[in-house]
Amino acid sequence: MKKIAFIGGGTMGTALASAACRGNDPADVVVTDVVAEKAQKLAQALGCTAVATNSEAVEAAKFVVFCVKPQFLDGVLAEVKDTFAACAARGEKKVIVSIVAGIEVAHYQEMLQLDGKNVSVIRTLPNTACKIGKGFILIEEGKGLSYTEEDEAELMQLLREAGGFETLPATMFVAGSVLTSTSPAFIAMFANSLADAGVYNGLLRPQARRLALQGILCATQLFLSEDKHLEAFKDDVCSPAGPAMIGVKSLEDSGFRSSVINAVVDAYRRFAEMKNVK
């Protein structure tokens, strides 16, 4: 039996399958997609195996990662339900890994009628940087409930090349997920705004892009290196009547902080609604 299968070969399926293939023998990794050519192309690029149907992916591997959009999940679960039951009847252990935003463990258990079957469910939320090994995967605490300590350890081993992991209690999982999974979108907008400003001030676009990203990278590495309040790093840069302090005032005049806070609060609200997405 293969180790891990990915259902859906889009942005996140590609990111996680890439990480799995870096950390394991690609022969142990399976991908599938509703568009067969997409799965075949991905498998070819990673050296792993493409299968034609979602049921074949479930049959093929112990860990099955659902990487489809929330609105397609129920259709996929209905399609693979009998396969999970057949595998359980043969005594095969399966571990379902969800990355689907807003969908709770109970939803998989109800849709697949997993009561008493040999199937674990681990709810996670990765981000796009897993593709290059710099990502972050949040895991919802569920040891002894929906999965075992060994399941979690094995998953972290299989996906170790994706980046870091953190396990959060169920009560905090959505708040954590929103920060790690939506922030790449906000940071891309922020970075491009910095680059636009660089171009406005006379830089060429490639220089402005490179320097804006370098500024974010250098700052982030510094912030992670010291355990002090983030505002203190701002104070380190803002000399009296200096350019950085003038810029800080401009940002405050434009409602920078409240815009960012509102974006994250709105995203959190949307996550909570998504379990009702059909």
Interface residue list for ligand NAP (CB under 6 A): 7-13, 33-35, 38, 54, 67-70, 72, 75-76, 99-101, 125-128, 181
DSSP string computed for 148-168: -HHHHHHHHHHTGGGEEEEEE
Separation between Cα atoms, residue 18 and residue 263, nearest integer Å: 30
- Shortest reach from residue 11's CB to ligand NAP, in Å: 4
Place of tokens 């129920």: 74
Q: Which is nearer to ligand NAP, 120 or 181 (CB)?
A: 181
- Shortest reach from residue 26's CB to ligand NAP, in Å: 19
- Shortest reach from residue 240's CB to ligand NAP, in Å: 41
Q: Which is nearer to ligand NAP, 68 or 122 (CB)?
A: 68
Strand, helix or coil for residue 211: helix
Token pair for residue 81? 């339900």
- Shortest reach from residue 135's CB to ligand NAP, in Å: 9
Q: Which is nearer to ligand NAP, 8 or 198 (CB)?
A: 8
For 34-77, the three-class secondary structure string (H helix, E strand, C coil) is CCHHHHHHHHHHHCCEECCCHHHHHHHEEEEEECCCHHHHHHHH
- Shortest reach from residue 270's CB to ligand NAP, in Å: 11
Q: Which is nearer to ligand NAP, 199 or 277 (CB)?
A: 277
- Shortest reach from residue 172's CB to ligand NAP, in Å: 17
Q: Which is nearer to ligand NAP, 22 or 41 (CB)?
A: 41
Separation between Cα atoms, residue 186 and residue 155, nearest integer Å: 29
DSSP string computed for 70-136: HHHHHHHHHHHHHHHHHHHHTT--EEEEE--TT--HHHHHHHTT-TTSSEEEEEEE--GGGGGT-EE
Nearest position to ligand NAP, beta carbon: 10
Q: Which is nearer to ligand NAP, 58 or 68 (CB)?
A: 68
Separation between Cα atoms, residue 129 and residue 126, nearest integer Å: 8
Q: Which is nearer to ligand NAP, 75 or 242 (CB)?
A: 75
- Shortest reach from residue 48's CB to ligand NAP, in Å: 16
Cα 52–chain centre separation? 25
